[in-house]
Structure 1
Amino acid sequence: MSEYGIDIALIQETSEARPRACAIAGYVQLRTDRTYDRKGGTALYYSRSLHCCPIKIPPLVNMEATGCRLAMTGHRTIIIVSVYLPSPKPLLRSDLRALLALGDAVILFGDFNCKNPRWGCAIMNENEEKLDQLQDRLEFEIIAPSTATYFPHNDTYRTSILDIALTKGVALNLNYIETLNRLSSDHRPVLLKMGPPDGERPIPTIKITDWKKVSTAFEKSTLLRSIVYLMTLGRLNRSTML
């Protein structure tokens, strides 16, 4: 936390760790522990220097979440939520809609257990198919790092990018999102930096675009004669002229 100058840390799978044992100097700890078994749970730490306060999370069916409200200069209040969707539970529209409705500007960040080749996974699972369907309806953006976040302890299993961010109504610039090869968990920490440009070297990221929606809009246009697509996926840049 100190090394990377973290303002807000979002934690998933807190298990049965005692709150006092997980205290971090200079940060306020918020937790939502499971009541029915020892696994799962979410937590959030925010720097005491920030204008933050806890928020009440609405009842959820499959997701687990802990959130705060951040007031900042130059931007409307942002709701920031640590999210965990346990595998193999399905992604439910009602859960996602309830979290996105918490404010006009919302960041949901954590382990969604959604796999999609668009951000480097080998396969697409059912949760990601549902996320694809809901992206247009609920009007959110998907931001994913360009390298794996999940490294199974079993070497025969494939690595995946499971830890992603969903944003709605956030006007901050995305400076970068990257996986940090630190700590010993099977999920590596993911660092997301948002704010005004600061001249740092950009790190490859994946900002997911709903290309089906774009294609449909193009087909309906009778004035369109020439279109240039510029798509960036990790380090790969591909341009196609139609």
Structure 2
Amino acid sequence: MLVKRRILHQPLPNIQLEFMTALGVEISTLGHSLRLYAEYTPPSSILKTADLTRLLFAAPDSAIVAAGDWNCKHQAWNSCTSNTAENRLLRHAESNDYAVTGPDTPTHYPDNPNHSPDVIDLAVHKCLDARLQLKVLLDEMQSDHQPVLLTLERRPISVQAPTPRPKDEGRKCRHSSHKCHRGQAAVRCGEPHKPNLPDCTAGDCPRPREEPAPCANCGGAHHANLQSCPVFKKEIINKRDGTMAVNSNENNKGRRGATL
């Protein structure tokens, strides 16, 4: 963890956790004390409430933010799916008066074409007297995890209740999640319909499920958010420069968005 020298801070003692790791520092700014933890939960670990209690309630009245790769998915913090471990985190948070916050866009783009981008990098926090905001940044390091900027706003802000978000249509048909400018299409055959949905007018996708979907960008045998996809790389550069990439790859004709 990096802290500016002009900020009063001190390292926190290590907390003995069984299924996760956390490195902490306490900072003091504007007369307030805040405990910050960089947290990591391995994908194979089982989330235990005992670890959550040790991490968040070692100092019961302290303001705490534990942010990092929690490897937890739940619709409550903008993930596409949820399972037992994530439900356990949500129930523990509701029972102990703390919050779990995730950004609006995916933080992890797996290399496995059978896995979709999702939100697994989170901020777990309690006793904050400031509004917490998360924003996914453009990844210059070409990692499968996008960098996330966490901001604490202490000034009073008028906040309206968020409008319930309909499930993203792109995720329903497993279309690219990085704001691809191509139209949505079936993931397996590339035709402009949504497979296995009530509003699908073309019926089920005729392409076998075991056959991998081609990339919407270059037509290759990988998903459109693969960091090594040549067209995706160009789109990142063009996005940074304020322009839009146009794919003229002949192999991509007829595949208007087939991706994972």
TM range (shorter): 0.5 to 0.7
Q: Scaled by the length of structure 1, what TM-score is found?
A: 0.62
The residue number in structure 2 matching 1:173 is 131
The residue number in structure 2 matching 1:189 is 147
Q: Residues 234 and 194 of structure 1: is their aligned pair in 2 closer, same or farther, counting only changes over 3 Å?
A: farther
The offset of 1:195, in angstroms, is 2.4
Q: Residues 158 and 72 of structure 1: is their aligned pair in 2 closer, same or farther, counting only changes over 3 Å?
A: same
State the percentage of identical aligned residues.
Answer: 26
Within 2, Cα distance between the matches of 1:232 and 1:178? 18
Q: Which has the higher strand share?
A: 1
Establish whether residue 97 from structure 1 lines up as the match of residue 53 from structure 2: yes
Q: Is the 8 A contact 1:90 1:126 kept in 2?
A: no
1:47-96 Cα deviation digits (max 9, x unpaired): 22211110112211001110001111142x11100000111211111111
Establish whether residue 118 from structure 1 lines up as the match of residue 76 from structure 2: yes
Establish whether residue 88 from structure 1 lines up as the match of residue 19 from structure 2: no
Q: Is the 8 A contact 2:73 2:120 kept in 1?
A: yes
Partner secondary structure for residue 23 of structure 2: strand
Q: Match of 1:64, as an amino acid?
A: T
Within 2, Cα distance between the matches of 1:169 and 1:119? 19
The offset of 1:197, in angstroms, is 4.1
Q: Is the 8 A contact 2:77 2:100 kept in 1?
A: no
Establish whether residue 232 from structure 1 lines up as the match of residue 163 from structure 2: yes
1:135-170 Cα deviation digits (max 9, x unpaired): 122221111100000000123311110001011101
Establish whether residue 130 from structure 1 lines up as the match of residue 61 from structure 2: no
Say which one has the larger Rg.
Answer: 2
Establish whether residue 152 from structure 1 lines up as the match of residue 110 from structure 2: yes
Gaps of 5+ in 1: 1-43, 203-228, 237-242
Aligned with 2:15 (options 31, 36, 58):
58
Q: Scaled by the length of structure 2, what TM-score is found?
A: 0.58
Gaps of 5+ in 2: 168-260
Point out 4+ residue stretches in structure 1 off by more than 4 angstroms.
Answer: 233-236
Within 1, Cα distance between the matches of 2:94 and 2:156? 31
Partner secondary structure for residue 24 of structure 2: strand
Aligned length: 164
1:206-225 aligned within 5 A = none
Q: Is the 8 A contact 1:57 1:99 kept in 2?
A: no
Q: CA RMSD in A?
A: 2.6
Within 2, Cα distance between the matches of 1:158 and 1:165? 21
